[in-house]
Amino acid sequence: MEKLVLNFFGEEITIDTPKTLQNLKDEIASKFCFNPSDAAEILVSYFNDLKKVFIQTEQDFVEFVKKHIYKVDLDISQESQLYKNSMKQLEEENAQNKKTLEELLKKNSELEAKGKTFFDEKTKKIKEIDEKIKALNKKKAEISKEVASAKEKMNKAIKANQKKINEIQKKLGIAPPVKKPKPASTKPKVDKKAKIEKKVEKKVEKTVEKAAKKIEKIIKKVEKKKKDEKKPETKEKKEEKGFLNNINELTQNITNKITDITKCVIENANDLTNKITGKLENKGIKLKGSAPKKEEEKKKIHTGIHCNGCGMNPIEGNRFKCAVCEDFDYCEKCENINKDKHLHPFIKIYSPETAPIKVECELK
């Protein structure tokens, strides 16, 4: 029994050729999962001498069977209930997806605004603390410089006074008293100059220590503030950290959800629109919002024909049929490679609808 190919918007299923048009409608309902009422509304057509012929009655089907054509195209009428239901379903899904997308975008905007306010406040606080630390460090440097300068001036004054004492003693002829060395058991001799210098040094050291202690206290307070802000166990810090994590997580979830919904909307719109409106372009009817066909869908498929070069089955694209050899075909790639090996003339067939039934060629 001969086979018949049912082509429904690019999806092809091969069946045994039915005996009646009603049997064909039943096969369509079974293979493509239609209700019998929907299958009854499907338009069945075929190409004969490059003309599209519709099978509407049993007589039309009998004439089609006599012509031994192996392929029919299935279309959906714009007036059919199946077409109207599909378009209504598509509109409802698009409206729902659009509403969901708007809600998510609104929520995302609110979260971004809250996050910006939160980050601005924390950035301002950090900036204020940094400015205070800079001011304290500057003050510490100034105090250290003042202490060093005071110590240097004091040392200079001590040296000048000692010089004057030596000069006056020299003019008066007073020699510095020479004391007899005391026994080892007695206390060692104390130099007055060294004693004065030690007193001055102690005063300077005390002044420096006091200043250093003040600076250390200030630095400890600043470091304590920094540590308090870095402590993860404080309730306020936990809330801030949790809020930050929630913002990041929600933003990522919303971004992923928006991407998924957008992708789903585009895929559903393209699939349903292509299935319903793709074939109507042959009738000169164009519907708004119809998705453009992909380059892969534009390729013609020569069902039942295989390439004798690479074995492609079925051949896609242009088919090259040998005009001399019986049942010998090349795909476009193999014809280009083997054109100098197989020297018979070839017929270029663009689509299966234009394929010749029989070819007779007589070589010289």
Beta-carbon contacts of 191 under 8 Å, excluding residues fewer than 6 positions away, are none
* Residue 3 bridge partners (DSSP): 16
pTM value?
Answer: 0.27
Beta-carbon contacts of 342 under 8 Å, excluding residues fewer than 6 positions away, are 322, 328, 330
3-state secondary structure of 10: coil
**Identical topology for domains 3-76 and 299-354:** no
Domain residue extents for the chain: 3-76, 299-354
**Which structure tokens are listed for 4?**
């018949």
What is the rounded distance in angstroms from the CA atom of residue 343 to the CA atom of residue 364?
13
Q: Residue range 71-78: average pLDDT?
A: 84
pLDDT digits (tens, 9 = 90+) for 101-153: 989 998 998 998 988 899 898 898 898 899 899 899 988 888 988 888 888 88
What's the pLDDT at 250?
A: 64
For the chain, percent of residues with pLDDT exceeding 70: 69
What is the rounded distance in angstroms from the CA atom of residue 364 to the CA atom of residue 361?
10
Kindly tell me if the per-residue pLDDT of 177 is higher than 80. Answer: no
| Opening angle at CA 220, ends 214 and 225, nearest 5 | 135
What's the pLDDT at 331?
A: 94
Q: Residue range 9-37: average pLDDT?
A: 86
The pLDDT confidence band at residue 88, using thresholds 50, 70 and 90, is confident
Kindly tell me if the per-residue pLDDT of 189 is higher than 50. Answer: yes
* Residue 362 bridge partners (DSSP): none
Q: Which residue has the tokens 């460090």?
A: 137
Q: Residue range 1-23: average pLDDT?
A: 85
The pLDDT confidence band at residue 2, using thresholds 50, 70 and 90, is confident
The pLDDT confidence band at residue 163, using thresholds 50, 70 and 90, is confident
Q: Residue range 265-285: average pLDDT?
A: 60
3-state secondary structure of 56: coil
What's the pLDDT at 192?
A: 63
Kindly tell me if the per-residue pLDDT of 299 is higher than 70. Answer: yes
pLDDT digits (tens, 9 = 90+) for 343-352: 888 999 998 8
- Structurally, at CATH architecture level, domain 3-76 sits in Roll (3.10)
pLDDT digits (tens, 9 = 90+) for 192-236: 667 776 776 677 677 767 766 777 777 777 677 666 666 655 656
For the chain, percent of residues with pLDDT exceeding 90: 12
Q: Residue range 260-268: average pLDDT?
A: 61
Q: Which residue has the tokens 């698009």?
A: 94
What is the maximum alpha-carbon separation in the chain? Answer: 157
Kindly tell me if the per-residue pLDDT of 277 is higher than 80. Answer: no
What is the rounded distance in angstroms from the CA atom of residue 182 to the CA atom of residue 238?
74
**CATH code of the domain made up of 299-354:** 3.30.60.90
The pLDDT confidence band at residue 289, using thresholds 50, 70 and 90, is very low
